[in-house]
Structure 1
Amino acid sequence: MTATATTPALNGRSYDDIAVGEVLPELAIPLTRTLIVATALATRDFQDVHHDPDLARERGSEDVFMNILTSNGLAGRFVTDWAGPAVSVRRVKIRLGAPNYPGDTMTMTGEVVSKENGLVEVKVQGANSLGNHLSGTVTVAYPAASEGKDA
């Protein structure tokens, strides 16, 4: 059987089963030094505040901290892990707040705020021990109901 907008794909959510107001399961992300440094380098963000603790402190930070590209990616991953592999990310719109430092945990939460024409918008928040690290929305698109059907 192939995946359509009405059948879940590989443990994903089907579009028809999603309701506005639905709350996504929380996702706890341990903030290791390796995660923060490696993802900054993977996104080609070579700013010293993301990999050098001494220079980060000289610039007024408590330690190295996560870059926005990683935060964007984690927000998108949170929603796509819930929605499933059939969706594509259409938009990630976040604002940053408290920094993500090594040794903490960021807990992602979300709620479906709209669903229309194959698009699902989820309000997301990522909080750590200092407060909200990120808040915003992630919009994903489900394939058209006619895609993937056997002819």
Structure 2
Amino acid sequence: MKTMQTKQFKDVQVGDKLPKQAIPITVALITSGAIATRDFFPGHHDKDAAIELGSPHIFMNILTTNGLVQAFVEKWSGPDSIFKDIKIKLGMPNYPGDTMTFKGEITATDAQNKTVEVGLAGQNQYGTHVTGTVLIALP
């Protein structure tokens, strides 16, 4: 089994791109994310309630999106990276059957603190679901 390596600060620079990552959006992902984050709003687990609200299906909550953002960056940066800040903004909803594709790149570095800022976006068939920045420290 291959061990995941952590990026080293000396090996990254502004403009480096993270590998794109496609996430299939499923009912299970949306509902389990809502349950795990204790978000019991019916639009995240009850299709009939979501339709009554004007949505075509249940939709992902922001906390699940935040977790997917963190997982996307950590998959690139490695297990010893330290998250310092995550700032995200939601756009279009994620519904079951969508595929959200993340892309990102290093937008800033700070040699004194060995931190890296990653700008990112996650898009689905309707447009941009999430945009944001993540600040991580690397060894």
The answer to whether residue 130 in structure 2 is matched with residue 134 in structure 1 is yes
The answer to whether residue 9 in structure 2 is matched with residue 20 in structure 1 is no
The answer to whether residue 115 in structure 2 is matched with residue 119 in structure 1 is yes
Measure the CA separation in 1 of the matches of 2:42 and 2:52.
Answer: 11
Root-mean-square deviation (CA, aligned residues, Å) is: 1.1
Q: Runs of 4 or more off by more than 2 Å in structure 1?
A: 9-12
Measure the CA separation in 2 of the matches of 1:128 and 1:76.
Answer: 18
1:3-22 CA distances to partner (integer Å, 9 max, x unpaired)? xxxxxx83221111001000
Q: Secondary structure at the match of 2:32?
A: helix
1:21-79 CA distances to partner (integer Å, 9 max, x unpaired)? 00110000000110000011000000000000000000111110000001111111111
Structure 2 match to 1:41 = 35
Measure the CA separation in 2 of the matches of 1:40 and 1:101.
Answer: 13
Measure the CA separation in 1 of the matches of 2:28 and 2:22.
Answer: 16
| TM-score with structure 1 setting the length | 0.87
Pairs within 5 Å for 1:1-150? 10-116=4-110, 117-143=113-139
Structure of greater Rg: 1
| TM-score with structure 2 setting the length | 0.94
Structure 2 match to 1:147 = none
Return 5+ residue gaps in structure 2 as ranges. none
Q: Secondary structure at the match of 1:27?
A: strand
1:80-107 CA distances to partner (integer Å, 9 max, x unpaired)? 1100011111111010000000011000
Number of residue pairs the alignment of both structures matches: 135
Return 5+ residue gaps in structure 1 as ranges. 1-8, 144-151
Calculate percent identity across the aligned residue pairs.
50
Structure 2 match to 1:3 = none
